[in-house]
Amino acid sequence: MFNFKQWVILVVCSLAILKAEGLFVNITFVRNAVARGAVCLDGSPPAYHLHRGSGTGINSWLIQLEGGGWCNNVTNCLSRMHTRLGSSKKMVENLAFSAILSNKKQYNPDFYNWNRVKVRYCDGSSFTGDVQAVNPATNLHFRGARVWLAVMQELLAKGMRNAENAVLSGCSAGGLASLMHCDSFRALLPMGTKVKCLSDAGFFLNTRDVSGAQYIKSYFKDVVALHGSAKNLPRTCTSRLTPAMCFFPQYVARQIRTPVFILNAAYDSWQIKNILAPRAADPYGKWQSCQLDIKNCQPNQLKVMQDFRLEFLSAVIGLGRSSSRGMFIDSCYTHCQTETQTSWFWQDSPILNRTTIAKAVGDWVYDRKLFQKIDCPYPCNPTCHHRVFTPQDAPPI
């Protein structure tokens, strides 16, 4: 139980975080996109939230692509189309902007006065799908790539075509999309625009699960096939490898010409739950307690996770040296760190080399300093905010 002092501290911190998340931004529907077939899974229009920049940031744009997993077969796409991840009809009208989207300098020192956009995710393919045919029995629309283009075209018309700076960012499936669309985003903007891409928790690893099966490879293969994504994946990869392999950043990122920043936890909680030890590989639930709280992990499970970290680092380092690629790989058990104020920029935010995530990303965007750091192994970093889940926190896949 909390004592009175701990309770007061908890209340004060909670109120401070609520204050940091005090900005709510209205939704905008791209209704004219429907005629072009650029629609969510259920056929509803794409959507985004835009908060205008000011002062020195008036011609700078930060585009944050929403995450939320994928759907790899008709059954789970049908389930998804009745949620905000498959229908703009289910999305909230006002969305809280905090962390990297905050409009307050004390919470978001480098991007607070930029034009900041949250692009809603409702296609289930990381904005890569494009199948013309629609089965009338399901009414499922696989049009993620069209959604991407329709939203970008609207933002260009709303002033992004005059951007001096533009950052394409995203978390999870959105972080994957920010890599997949990085060079095409650059191509949409004028030659003089300074463009960079930030992938937060989007570096999904091609590895075997604890049973030895290639679960995530098979899953991504199904996603790419169902959504017709192959033609919209980077050609620098599909010219060499199968489309399913080109859904993995480790085979794509090296060829990206636009500067990229990779922000990821080496023990990414989503990947531990869904790639390393998915339910299919853990039928008796031996990993469940460990997945809920890393402090519950048994020594043999921690050994498996340490091996996962080494494989993850090998994939990241395998991209090769780059004087433009930023990197912040911490040893926290978490997922998505740009969208939570306490992990992005707070009094006790995770740090590497005495640097917060917000400072590392800001320095990289503004060319003040190139940040390329990899954390020591768990449990060495006392600044980590390890996620603790409940059994009801069901994984997306």
Q: What is the CATH number of the domain that holds 268?
A: 3.40.50
4-23 b/e with 16+ CB inside 10 Å = b?
Answer: eeeeeeeeeeeeebeebbeb
Marked catalytic residue, from 51, 181, 227, 335: 335
Question: Is 375 among the catalytic positions?
Answer: no
Residue owning tokens 């707070």: 346
DSSP letters spanning 197-264:
EEEES--------TTS--HHHHHHHHHHHHHT-GGGS-HHHHTTS-TTGGGSGGGTGGG--S-EEEEE
Marked catalytic residue, from 42, 123, 130, 268: 268
pLDDT at 395: 53
Count of structural domains within the chain: 1
pLDDT at 334: 98
In a domain, 12, yes or no: no
Element of type H or E holding 9: helix 4-20
54: number of Cβ within 10 Å: 12
* Alpha carbons 107 and 105: distance in angstroms, whole number: 5
In a domain, 132, yes or no: yes
pLDDT at 68: 98
Marked catalytic residue, from 44, 125, 126, 172: 172
Residues in the chain: 397
Domain that holds residue 289: 21-393
* Alpha carbons 286 and 95: distance in angstroms, whole number: 37
pLDDT at 5: 41
Question: Is 335 among the catalytic positions?
Answer: yes
pLDDT at 131: 98
In a domain, 273, yes or no: yes
3-state helix, strand, coil in the chain (%, to 5): 40, 15, 45
Query: pLDDT in tens for each of the 397 residues of the chain?
Result: 444 444 434 443 444 444 555 899 999 999 999 999 999 999 999 999 999 999 999 999 999 999 999 999 999 999 999 999 999 999 999 999 999 999 999 999 999 999 999 999 999 999 999 999 999 999 999 999 999 999 999 999 999 999 999 999 999 999 999 999 999 999 999 999 999 999 999 999 999 999 999 999 999 999 999 999 999 999 999 999 999 999 999 999 999 999 999 999 999 999 999 999 999 999 999 999 999 999 999 999 999 999 999 999 999 999 999 999 999 999 999 999 999 999 999 999 999 999 999 999 999 999 999 999 999 999 999 999 999 999 887 555 6
In a domain, 47, yes or no: yes
pTM of the model: 0.94
pLDDT at 100: 98
pLDDT at 14: 45
In a domain, 282, yes or no: yes
In a domain, 165, yes or no: yes
